[in-house]
Structure 1
Amino acid sequence: MGEKIILGLDPGSVIMGFGIIKENSLGSDTQLVTYGVFQLKNYREHMLKMRHIYTSMMDLLHKYTPDEVAIEAVFHGANVQSMLKLGRAQGVAIAAALACEIPVTEYAPRKVKQSVTGKGNASKEQVAAMVSHLLGISIASVPLDASDALAVALCHSQQRIATANKVKNWSQFVATHPNRITS
């Protein structure tokens, strides 16, 4: 497997974070491409926010041509209206990627945190610190929503590596683990 560009998204209805990484030869060298946020607070109408997400996503997708998109699943909160708005924002971002025929994978927030920090209940600040360390960037320069999006991209990269390293059949297992076969 060669180079992959992964777009990570942290969906939001006020601020949506994005982060793009480039992975060379299945995780051997992961580099930061770019990161940022879509500011949505200036749009009073919810549908205008959705249009801004869609057009911003299309701009990103055409400019950076990611091979895959990874998005954080909507957190199950108590406020139904907030969840609806978040779900719509996530759906619009997914629709933009699918319109460009880019595969999308969704990850639970706990899975992302576990993958990047080793702790499923890590704080946003702990996630940001680890993203900063892994990508060699200053933590002060990255908005929390963007560092969360980069964490989603890194999580996806790690999942791809884990999947690629799995044994696919018995012949491969025997060839890979000759010491585990007895007569």
Structure 2
Amino acid sequence: MLVLGVDPGAGATGYGIVARSDGLLQAVDYGSIITTPRDSFPSRLQQIFSRLAELIHRYQPEWAAIESLIFAKNAQSAFKLGQVRGVAILAAAQSGLAIAEYTPLQIKSAVTGYGAAGKGQVQQMVQSLLDLKEPIRSTDAADALAVAICHHHSARLLHLLKGGER
């Protein structure tokens, strides 16, 4: 199963594509979609949408796993983040992907076993779980990979609970 994980952000939207093969998770691609505040917000949304659509077209994942919004520092930030999430959901839906949404607590718990883990702990566990030789420089990319890992763990658990094979 191939999963596109998305960590939405107006300035930087992280993405991570994770495959499961023979029970092992592997990072296929990851990075950040960087936009600049000099561009209009609609232009920034279009850049995020286009890049996600391109990644979906290139890798053909079955699922998009997207971090959900829990809180924001202010209403303006929450609205912008919600719009970025909407663009990510639209890119996935238009491509026919199944979509799952996870809270930061669910993601951190799935990756580190501790829902209040810090960014550094998440980055280290993502690197370990995916057996990456180099540290992940972008926290947005690490968070997106964590979202994809969370979905792999959740999908596997649901499959087992429904009586699937190990």
Under TM normalisation by the shorter chain, which class is it? over 0.9
Which residue in 2 is equivalent to 1:152? 147
Cα distance, 1:30 vs structure 2:
1.3
Which residue in 1 is equivalent to 2:108? 113
Q: Distance in 1 between matches of 2:135 and 2:97?
A: 31
CA offset digits 1:115-135 (Å, max 9, x no partner): 100000000110000000011
Cα distance, 1:140 vs structure 2:
3.0
Q: Could you tell me which of 121, 128, 132 is aligned with 1:133? A: 128
Q: Distance in 1 between matches of 2:27 and 2:38?
A: 30
Q: Structure 2 matches for 1:6-17, cutoff 5 A?
A: 6-17=3-14
CA offset digits 1:89-133 (Å, max 9, x no partner): 010010011001111100000000001000000001100000000
Which residue in 2 is equivalent to 1:163? 158
Residue aligned with 1:154, SS: helix
The percentage of counterpart residues that share the same residue type is 35
Q: Structure 2 matches for 1:36-75, cutoff 5 A?
A: 36-41=31-36, 43-75=38-70
Q: Is the 8 A contact 1:10 1:148 kept in 2?
A: yes
Structure 1, 34-43 or 155-164: larger mean CA deviation: 34-43
Cα distance, 1:144 vs structure 2:
0.7
Cα distance, 1:156 vs structure 2:
0.1
Determine if the alignment matches structure 1 residue 78 to structure 2 residue 73: yes
Q: Distance in 1 between matches of 2:85 and 2:100?
A: 12
Determine if the alignment matches structure 1 residue 5 to structure 2 residue 2: yes
The number of aligned residues is 164
Cα distance, 1:43 vs structure 2:
4.5
Q: TM-score, normalised by structure 1?
A: 0.85
Structure 1, 12-21 or 70-79: larger mean CA deviation: 70-79
Cα distance change on mapping 1:104 and 1:69 into 2, 3 Å? same
Q: Is the 8 A contact 1:128 1:139 kept in 2?
A: no
Q: Unaligned regions of 5+ residues in structure 1, if any? A: 173-183
Q: Which amino acid aligns with 1:87?
A: G
Determine if the alignment matches structure 1 residue 33 to structure 2 residue 28: yes
Superposed CA RMSD? 1.5
Q: Distance in 1 between matches of 2:96 and 2:17?
A: 17
Q: TM-score, normalised by structure 2?
A: 0.94
Q: Is the 8 A contact 1:31 1:135 kept in 2?
A: yes
Cα distance, 1:41 vs structure 2:
2.0
Q: Distance in 2 between matches of 1:116 and 1:65?
A: 24
CA offset digits 1:5-30 (Å, max 9, x no partner): 100000001000000011125xx121
Q: Unaligned regions of 5+ residues in structure 2, if any? A: none
Q: Is the 8 A contact 1:17 1:148 kept in 2?
A: yes
Q: Distance in 1 between matches of 2:133 and 2:35?
A: 25
| Higher CA-based Rg | 1
